[in-house]
Structure 1
Amino acid sequence: MKKILIANRGEIAARIVRTCEKLGIEPVIVYSQADKDLPYVKNAKIAHEIGEPPVVKSYLNSERVLEVALNEQVDAIHPGYGFLSENADFVRKVENANIKFIGPSADVVEAMGDKVKARKTMQDAGVPVVPGSDGPLNDVEAAVQLADEIGYPVMIKASAGGGGIGMQRCDDEKALRTAFVSSQNRAKAYFGNDEMFMEKFISHSRHIEVQIFGDEQGNVVHLFERDCSIQRRHQKVIEETPSPFLSEEVRQQICEAAVQAGKHVNYTNAGTVEFIVDQNENYYFLEMNTRLQVEHPITEMITGLDLVEWQINVTQSKPLPYSQGELTKSGHSIEYRIYAEDPNTFLPSPGKIEKFQYPTSEYVRVDTGFSSQTQVTPFYDPMIAKVIIYAENREKALERSRQFFGEWTLSGIKHNGPLFDQVLNEESFQNGKYTTGYLNDTITKVKN
C-alpha cells in the first residue's frame, strides 16, 4: 500500500498517521470545519475538508469520504473506531469501489453489530452468554414476561447500540416499563433502530475483553486480555492489562473462548471479544467490536507490537507474523482516558485548551489530537487524549501514574484529571478489587 485515507478524527487519526509514516505510506486526512486547526490536520501533507461540524454532514457522510478516497486514488481506508468503523453498508461501498477496507468483511461487521444476532452466533460457537432474550424485544409486555422468568435485576439494551446508549438497569417491573420506552426512543434517535434485548444483570461484575486478530489464511490468535471495569455511564475510563482480578486458569479460558468466537465467524483483522465476569470468575459473552479499540495501546505496551501495522498487513493478505505460542507479554500497562468534562456530572465541557503539557519517557505514551491553544468543540466525543503508562508490574505502573498526574498541566477547560488523582489513591483500586460499579459506589464526589 502506498496511500491510506483515515476516516476519523482526533487522537486515533493522529495515531494511525504515525504507523503510516513508519511504513512509508502516505496518509490522507479528512476533517470537518470544526477540526481544521487541530495539529495533525495542520501538519498533514494531504488533507481534505469534508463538511460542516455535525457528524452527519462530515465524518458520517460516507459519500463524501468515498469521493475523497477515489479522487486521491487511495489503496485503503482505515476507519479508526466510532463513526463509520462498524457500518456494514460503508464497508460494502468501499469494497465495491475497489478500495481495501482495513477491518473485517461487511458480512462479519453486520452479523456482530446486531447484538441479538451476535448473541445467537456465540451460542452456536459454544461461548457462554448471559441469560436473556433469544430475539429482539419490540414491546414492553414481552420484556416484563421475560424479566419475570430470568429474575431481576435485568439490563435493557439497544440491539444496534454501543457506547452505553439505550442501556439501562431495571430492578423491578415499574422501572422496566419506564426504561423500555425511554431506551427505545434513544435507540431510534441514535441508531435508527428501536429493537431492544434484555440480559440478566450480573452484579459485582468485571468487564474483561480479549484482543483477537485473524488473517485471510484462517489463523486467529489472541493478544491477551484487558480489564475495562472502571466505567462511567457504561463507558470505559481506565483500562489495564493484565487484569488484576483473573486467575491464570480463567485468563487462559477466556482468551481461548475469544479465539473460538473469532474462528467461528471466520474473523479477519483486529477485533475485540468482550465478556462480563462475575465474582466467581464465571464469564459470559457481552459483545464483539469489529474494529480497533480505544484501549489498544495497553496491549501494544505489554507485547511490543504495533496493532495498526498488523491491520495494514492483514489487509494486504499477509499472514499473521506470529502463531499463538510465539506471542508473549511482559509487564503491566494502564490507560487513562482524558475527557473535557466535569468529573462529577460527566457532562462535556468544551472550550479552549490554554496549556497542555506533560512529561514523556519510554514508560509514558500520550495519544492525542490536541495541543495547547486548540479548541475542544461541542460536536464530538469530548475525549482529548489517552495517557498510557507502562511498568514491569502493577505497583510500579500505579506509582508512575501518580507521578505523571502530579507533573502534567491541562488548563483552560474542565477535565477529569482530578478523578484519576482520587482513584489512584483509593485503596480498592490500588488492590485491584473493583467492579463496574466502582465509580458510582466509591468516588461519589471528585475534589476539583
Structure 2
Amino acid sequence: MNAQTERNYEAAKPLYATHGIDTDKVIEQLKEIKISLHCWQGDDIRGFLNAGHELTGGISVTGNYPGAARTPEELRQDLEKAFSLIPGKHKLNLHAIYADTEEQIDLNEIEPRHFSKWVDWAKENNLGLDFNPTCFSHPNSSDGFTLSHPNKQIRDFWIDHCKRARKVGAYFGKETGQPCVTNIWIPDGYKDTPVDRLSPRKRLEESLDEIYKEQIDPAYNLDAVESKLFGIGSESYVVGSHEFYMGYGITRQKLIGIDVGHFHPTETVSNKLSSISLFSEGMLLHVSRPVRWDSDHVVTLDDELLEIARELVTHNLLEKTHIGLDFFDASINRVAAWVIGARNTMKALLRAFLEPVEKLKGIEISGDLTTRLALREEFKSYPFGAVWDYYCAIQGVPVREEWLEHVKQYEDNVLSKRS
C-alpha cells in the first residue's frame, strides 16, 4: 500500500471518530455489499442467442466505440478486467440472450445447461449470478406486446420463456451458493392513447400468476418484477406500470424492481424506497442515470445517487435490497463504463456509512433543523476519499484514477484488435 494512502486514512479516522463513526467497521460493512454488473454494457445488448437481431422494445444504444465483445469468451474477458478494478466481490446479471451454446434454440427452449459455461466461470471467480428473461428483440414481440398479448399463442410463448428463466435462476443459485434474482421486465404498451387499459393488465396478471405457479426455494431464486413509465413506442401507455407492479409485488410476495430511470423526470427513486420497504418482500434496485428520460447513462456520483445510498443505509434496507447496474453507453470504453458505475455506487454507499445517522436522527426529532442542515452540509467535505482510497488499497485494486491506466492498456492490447 502507498504510504500516503495509509497516512491519509489514519488522519481521517479521528475526524469521523469525533462523531462516533468507526471507519474500520464501515469498511467491513462495505465489504459485504454486492453490486450486480449488467452483462449488456459489454456488447450493446446484442447477446449471442440470436446474433444480429435488431433491438426493439424501447431499447436503443448510441455510439460506436470500438472493442465491443463479440463472443461469450470476449465478454467474460472484459468482465474479468472490470471486476479486477472494482473493490469487493460482486455478481453478474445475465439476460437470456447471453446463453453460451452451440445449439440452435429459441427463447422458449432455454435450459440451465445452456448457461453452464457462465456458471463455471462464476465459480472460478467467486461471483454470484442474476438473471433476466429477454422479452424484447424477438419476432414474437414485434408489435410491442409479450405477456399481455391478446394472442394466447404468443402469450404462452413468453410465459414458457419466463418459466424456463426461473429454472435457470434456480440453477445459478444452487451452483454459486448465492440466491439469483430473476427479474421480469416487459416492453408492452401503446404509442398512442389506448381505449382499453384494463384488459392488457388483466392478461399480464394472469400470465405472471401462471409463471409463478411453481414454487422455487428462495435460497436459490428470488423473483422480481420491474415497472416502467414509458418507452420508445410505448409513450402513452405501459401495461406494467409502477402501480401495477407495486400491487402485484406486494400481494404475491415478489421483489419490487425499481429502476432509477423508469419514472417521471421530476420523480426521485430515493423518496420511494422507505415507503416500498414497509410493505414489500424486498426490492431490486437498478442503478442508472436518466438524462431527460430513461436514457441509461453511466452512473455518476450525483445528488440522487447519494440520496439513494443514504436511504438504504439510514433505514437498514441493504439486507432486503438487491443492487444492480443498468446502463449501456457505446460512446465510451465499455469496460471503463462498468468500472465508473460500480465504483460510484460503492462510493455513494461509503459516503452514507460515514454519516452519523443516529446523531442526525436525534437532532431531527428534537426539532433542531438548523443543526441538521449544518452537519449534513459539513459532512460533504469530510475526507471520505481517504477512506475510499484505503478500502481500494486493502482490496488490491487501483487507488483513485490509477484504474484508468489499466483500462487504457487493456484497450491497446485487447479491445483495439477487435474488428
TM-score, shorter chain, exceeding 0.5: no
TM-score under structure 1 length normalisation: 0.28
1 or 2, which has the higher helix percentage?
2
TM-score under structure 2 length normalisation: 0.30
The structure with higher relative contact order (CA 8 Å, sep 6+) is 2
